[in-house]
Structure 1
């Protein structure tokens, strides 16, 4: 896998605000864990399944119409990638993504600065 290409496509998808393009990077059984879920919904810290994640990201994109990410660094591990980037609300973020056999993200953890 070309991690720099994946990272560039991922950032560009988010910056386009095209939800279907964003979701194209994720497996149907995606599981995400991020403190941002509670920022945009009243609920858990973890969501499971592409439909649940899609509903959450729809709300987030509506509430943050000027969303723009800036990539700082890309790192990788075994079947995994981590992106360090400028996120929303003046926060820096680190997202650690685990990839399935098709190269789709099936598990993700996000971390943020204050």
Structure 2
């Protein structure tokens, strides 16, 4: 994916990504990511019980999100907005805790997310 991202691509990605989370479908969630994904979130340390700020690789990300989903049976994301960049999109959404979240997804050449950064209000 060497062309600039389109609004249509960003909207389709956001809809499917949010639906996968709201359905609690870990395989569908992970289908958006490359094997070499790097994920950054201030929630990692809390969920994993350590001081980690980043997750490296799809297998480790699966382990983290499986644990996180188990801790949040009421999880639900509601779309607020989508921002489109050249090779990245940012999804603004409200979570089940009524927190605003901005998650930025950087796409690699194969159209999968290679880096994701979550930030919370």
How does the TM-score come out when normalised to structure 1? Answer: 0.95
- CA–CA distance in structure 1, aligned partners of residues 13 and 31 of structure 2: 11
Q: Offset of 1:38 from its aligned partner?
A: 1.5
Q: Offset of 1:76 from its aligned partner?
A: 1.1
Match of 2:17 in 1: 10
Deviations 1:2-54 (A, max 9, x none): 11111100100100101000000100000001001112112301010001111
Gaps of 5+ in 1: none
Match of 1:45 in 2: 53
Structure 2 SS opposite 1:82: strand
**Pairing partner for 2:40 from 14, 33, 55:** 33
Match of 2:107 in 1: 99
Q: Offset of 1:102 from its aligned partner?
A: 1.7
Q: What RMSD over aligned residues (CA atoms) do the two structures have, in Å?
A: 1.0
- CA–CA distance in structure 1, aligned partners of residues 38 and 96 of structure 2: 21
Question: When the two structures are aligned, how many residues end up with a matched partner?
Answer: 113
Match of 1:84 in 2: 92
Runs of 4+ in structure 1 deviating by more than 3 angstroms, as ranges, are none
